[in-house]
Structure 1
Amino acid sequence: MKKFESDAAENREISHTRSEALAVSADLSSPNADPTDCDVLIVGGGINGCGIARDLAGRGWRVLLCEKDDLAAHTSSSSTKLIHGGLRYLEHYEFSLVRKALQEREVLLKSAPHIMWPLRFVMPHDPSMRPAWMIRIGLFLYDHLAKREVLPPSRTVDLRRHVAGAPLKPEFRRGFVYSDGWVDDARLVVLNAVDARARGAEVLTRTRCIGAQRDATGWSAVLEGADGRQRNVRARAVVNAAGPWAEAFLRGVARPLHGEALATRHLRLVKGSHIVVPRVFGHNHAYIFQNPDKRIIFAIPYQDEFTLIGTTDIELQGDDPGAARIGEDEIDYLCSQASRYFAQPVKPADVVWTYSGVRPLLDDASGDPSAVTRDYLLESNTAAAPLLSVWGGKITTFRKLAEDAADEVGRMLGEARAPWTDGAFLAGGDLSAWIGATRPSARPDDDFEHFVAAVQLRHPWLDHVLARRLARAYGARISELLGDAGSMADLGPAVAPDLHERELHYLRDQEWACSGDDVLWRRSKLGLRLTPQQREQVDAWMQRHARSEEGVPCS
């Protein structure tokens, strides 16, 4: 797919003078504001927005990101949580997308081994689905479309002898095993934001962009916080990374210099839902199941005690992507398809948690939502002050998308600056201070295990279950969380099991957490293990103590 499409009038001469352009936007401009408060205003705090903010800030541009809710509050915390090439996309001849995603797998796995790790997938062979020769060809391509250093190749296994065969029905005798990776998607977003802030970006959560007026030299925007207070911002360029709301931003918030339409594309909003059930199998492989409708679902080990099953592909009904919820028909579908393979049926009554996300896919008039491309497109518009809109994308390719977006912003601003994120660690990902330098071909999951051992050696007083959880969540930044603590008592009272006040203070001060949901369902998945009363205790603590960096209470 072509990566960029520029406005047809990109090089058109702008005849208005600077004073005339500023007059057009006078209703949004602050008389006391600097000529430009930032170089780039990014609207949207999902994986694409935070990834772009990190990349731009690392190149030295002044960046301000605003997100109307919490970071990763919607699509970016509702994925299947995989770093993968997308094996099924080969059937749709999306070779470029698959290759790009496969190239990114090991780059990402090495950048943050605490929140991403390799995972082996088992595909039981069902002769009534795809023939074995077709699967072998697909896996051969999957193994060789991009270079691998740490991920082992695919192979055929006898499920009557392999550990992954035990939970399956006896008719599944042969299977195929291949490699991909797992990611804590919401933490990936937060760590990008943390890194962006460390490089100079300003990140504002629960801050909505309610107006953005374009002129010949920049953008004048109004940002509104959770308490209703407004802030006027002047930016040289705007990046529209609003995900499912990207088209709505162009149609209802951004105002052009002239009467031209800023929205030239339509999004197709596709809901993907997942269910979580008590652990169905005890080994550490994941499954990919072929369904009679030619779709696939995954069954993945989740949070030690659970199994994650998903996803669906259903056209979103309604105008509010934030209101997407799983339907009973989706629960039945996921349970029935999983039960085609597992010897112990998965029943709707087993479901302990569900979540749904909305994929903002470019509308290609395809009748099948699962066939719509997951590739991204960056649309630049320089008819006046630069505007870059991000369409589509998948979590595996977020770093490359951000790199391409930063390149394009630099081109539009006339200030090309070199990329830097390929090979760079995400926040907490550099474990060398704990385990020493490692070989480039070292497995990231092995490095993490050495790191956990180092944490427990340095902090022998730390409960071993808690030590592992904190190591997973924060990586090398665990030192910032623990600070001078020398005993469990130094972590403060436990607000809920395995969750102490020191961690809540850290999440409030360093990771923009404002509510119980921010902590229990995005910064962690502790909500799965807590009772409703315990979850309420965490939310009550956050409501008493939470505030934004500017001291504005969270809502």
Structure 2
Amino acid sequence: MTYDLLIVGGGINGCAIAREAALNGWSVLLVERDDLASHTSSASTKLIHGGLRYLEYYDFRLVAHALRERERLLRLAPHLIRPLTFVLPHENAVRPWWLVRLGLLLYDRLGGRSALPRSRGLRRSDAAYRAPLKNAGSGFVYSDAWVDDSRLTVLNALDAAEHGAEVLTRTTLESARREDGLWRARLSDGREVQARAVVNAAGPWVAELLGRMGVNASAGVRLVKGSHIVVPRLFEGDHAYILQQPDRRIVFAISYEGGTAVGTTDVVVERPEDARIDGDEVRYLCDAASRYFARQVGPEDVTSSWSGVRPLYDDGASEAREVTRDYVLELDANGPPLLSVFGGKITTARHLAEEAVAKVAPALGRHVEPMTRERPFPGGGFRSFDAYLAHVRERRPWLGAERSERMARAYGTLLVAMLAGVRDEAGMGEAFGAGLTEREVRWMRDREWARTPEDVLERRSKLGLHMTAAERVRFEAWWAASPAA
């Protein structure tokens, strides 16, 4: 079969491009050698934001663009993306008070009309924000948004597949060559396919893939590792903190799965496989948190961690923290087109996809329209999450308060299809612990490309963090013994 587009890479960029192309009526094949969002796209700080710190590097265009996307995504995925209030203490600050206030005012201005509250000073009445801090002096409060990054990736793939895209996980592009006006590719499953164009969305492996295809790129990629730790809860509430560090970096502290996630680092690495946290990073993040919070933490308090390698476009910046987070799309039109994606971030993936499809279209003689600007993500399509959650709880009280919120956030209105015919707890099938049941697991396996227990416990949900070792072992045994649909 000949596809219009062969996309290599099942991270957020590859899946977003597949969605945009499929909605334009293109025939699309996406191949991912591991799981969807199995690398960088599940290892972010999980924020939908403009990037307040990018203002310091005068990257106003990126900030304004990302803030516009933030507003759009809050509308289009109200189940998965939620507003998040940030507290920015000014104790131990390395920037003058007036400069930070000016930056926040500019952040508000660049964001235009927003559903989120504008920034303000930290008030004496902000007892909940001040209570966890060692020195609750001056500071600021502003808003951005939080997202489950791996689930957002899956939602892009779901919408793409719903409109004809073929998504193959655990499938490697072994070789590809230009021949007779087409790309001819061989896959690890033994298939040989043809495509009119190829998109290289391999993330940290973008340069490696180009080499495998015998193509020289003019753009460079800089691999920067970002690590996060999770420690016992440092504060109560649904807000978060942004902490200025002596080296002029900033570190986030965000409520995460019953604890507090602290991150991220910026460490230049040589290989994508270097996505592992090291002792220096752990100590740095513990010190970063202890500098501000009354509750002190050390390496012995870390309950879990994650690391990802960001494939940043190499703009020649001298330090990792200064490298642009903007993306570059490089089109090689010497024959059938090859589009390579350098850089990017979760917030701007939708727009990146729109631009990528528009960039390839002329070479294919196709007209395209921006299809996702106002299209809700699967499970979206409602205005108020609180109202939707109340509806779920009224119709399915047996889910319980905690599980109903988790599932309403993860699946939105898709929950109706998942639970079709289920009348009570027994209808959910076997219970594995932490609220995970057979009904939900089968949905992930049959509809969301989950192929291993880790796909379910670590990416489609984070329930592995809440299960006992015995529960995980039992779930893995069930998975091995239970045939796919």
What is residue 126 of structure 1 aligned with on the other side?
91
What is residue 541 of structure 1 aligned with on the other side?
478
- Structure 1's unaligned 5+ residue stretches are 1-33, 256-260, 432-437, 439-446, 550-555
SS of alignment partner, residue 18 of structure 2: helix
SS of alignment partner, residue 413 of structure 2: helix
Which residues of 2 match residues 35-184 of structure 1 at below 5 A? 36=2, 38-126=3-91, 128-158=93-123, 161-170=126-135, 172-184=136-148
SS of alignment partner, residue 151 of structure 2: helix
Distance 2:207 2:325 in 1: 17
Alignment check: 8 A CA contact 1:57 1:200 kept: yes
What is residue 408 of structure 1 aligned with on the other side?
359
SS of alignment partner, residue 538 of structure 1: helix
Cα separation, partners in 2 of 1:159 and 1:298, compared to 1, 3 Å: farther
SS of alignment partner, residue 145 of structure 1: helix
Question: How far did residue 322 of structure 1 move?
Answer: 3.5
RMSD of aligned alpha carbons: 1.4
Which residue of 314, 326, 345 maps to 2:277?
A: 326
Q: Deviations over 1:383-402 (max 9, x none)?
A: 10011111100111001101
Distance 2:125 2:415 in 1: 43
Question: How far did residue 536 of structure 1 move?
Answer: 2.3
Alignment check: 8 A CA contact 1:58 1:196 kept: yes
Which residue of 474, 477, 492 maps to 2:429?
A: 492
Distance 2:206 2:252 in 1: 29
What is residue 315 of structure 1 aligned with on the other side?
268
1:194 matched to 2:147 = no
Alignment check: 8 A CA contact 1:159 1:175 kept: no
Give the TM-score taking structure 2 as reference length: 0.97
1:498 partner letter: G
Distance 2:402 2:77 in 1: 20
1:424 matched to 2:388 = no
Cα separation, partners in 2 of 1:137 and 1:487, compared to 1, 3 Å: same
Question: How far did residue 414 of structure 1 move?
Answer: 1.6
Which residue of 511, 516, 534 maps to 2:448?
A: 511
Give the TM-score taking structure 1 as reference length: 0.85
Alignment check: 8 A CA contact 1:74 1:322 kept: no
2:422 partner letter: A
SS of alignment partner, residue 424 of structure 1: coil
Cα separation, partners in 2 of 1:159 and 1:293, compared to 1, 3 Å: farther
Greater Cα radius of gyration, structure 1 or 2? 1
Which residue of 221, 243, 247 maps to 1:289?
A: 243
Alignment check: 8 A CA contact 2:240 2:253 kept: yes
Cα separation, partners in 2 of 1:502 and 1:128, compared to 1, 3 Å: closer
Distance 1:95 1:43 in 2: 31
Alignment check: 8 A CA contact 2:76 2:377 kept: yes
Question: How far did residue 56 of structure 1 move?
Answer: 0.3
Question: How far did residue 465 of structure 1 move?
Answer: 2.1
Cα separation, partners in 2 of 1:47 and 1:91, compared to 1, 3 Å: same
SS of alignment partner, residue 230 of structure 1: coil
1:299 partner letter: A
SS of alignment partner, residue 122 of structure 2: strand
Question: How far did residue 179 of structure 1 move?
Answer: 0.9
What is residue 239 of structure 1 aligned with on the other side?
199
1:521 matched to 2:458 = yes
Cα separation, partners in 2 of 1:126 and 1:216, compared to 1, 3 Å: farther
Question: How far did residue 161 of structure 1 move?
Answer: 4.3
2:12 partner letter: I
Alignment check: 8 A CA contact 1:517 1:539 kept: no
Distance 2:9 2:350 in 1: 16
Cα separation, partners in 2 of 1:410 and 1:325, compared to 1, 3 Å: same
Which residues of 2 match residues 339-378 of structure 1 at below 5 A? 339-378=290-329
Alignment check: 8 A CA contact 1:243 1:391 kept: yes
Distance 1:141 1:81 in 2: 23
SS of alignment partner, residue 397 of structure 2: coil
Question: How far did residue 127 of structure 1 move?
Answer: 5.8
Question: How far did residue 456 of structure 1 move?
Answer: 1.1
SS of alignment partner, residue 217 of structure 2: coil
- Structure 2's unaligned 5+ residue stretches are none
SS of alignment partner, residue 207 of structure 1: coil
Which residue of 272, 276, 289 maps to 2:226?
A: 272
Distance 1:266 1:314 in 2: 17
SS of alignment partner, residue 111 of structure 2: coil
SS of alignment partner, residue 191 of structure 2: strand
Cα separation, partners in 2 of 1:262 and 1:543, compared to 1, 3 Å: farther
Alignment check: 8 A CA contact 2:92 2:244 kept: no
1:245 partner letter: W
Q: Deviations over 1:436-481 (max 9, x none)?
A: xx5xxxxxxxx11111110111123332322221111111000111
SS of alignment partner, residue 101 of structure 2: helix
Alignment check: 8 A CA contact 2:91 2:137 kept: no
SS of alignment partner, residue 399 of structure 2: coil
Question: How far did residue 514 of structure 1 move?
Answer: 1.2
Question: How far did residue 159 of structure 1 move?
Answer: 5.2
Question: How far did residue 528 of structure 1 move?
Answer: 1.2
Distance 1:409 1:546 in 2: 40
SS of alignment partner, residue 391 of structure 1: strand
Alignment check: 8 A CA contact 1:237 1:387 kept: yes
1:57 partner letter: A
Distance 2:425 2:49 in 1: 38
SS of alignment partner, residue 484 of structure 1: coil
Alignment check: 8 A CA contact 1:160 1:173 kept: no
Distance 2:476 2:210 in 1: 35
Alignment check: 8 A CA contact 2:24 2:369 kept: yes
Which residue of 262, 268, 273 maps to 2:216?
A: 262
Question: How far did residue 128 of structure 1 move?
Answer: 4.5
Alignment check: 8 A CA contact 1:295 1:370 kept: yes
Distance 2:482 2:339 in 1: 37
Distance 1:153 1:243 in 2: 34
Alignment check: 8 A CA contact 2:80 2:148 kept: yes
Q: Deviations over 1:396-418 (max 9, x none)?
A: 10011011001112122121211
1:204 matched to 2:164 = no
SS of alignment partner, residue 90 of structure 1: helix
Distance 2:399 2:475 in 1: 22
1:209 partner letter: L
Distance 1:97 1:387 in 2: 25
Q: How many residues align?
A: 485
What is residue 335 of structure 2 aligned with on the other side?
384
What is residue 472 of structure 1 aligned with on the other side?
409
What is residue 214 of structure 1 aligned with on the other side?
178
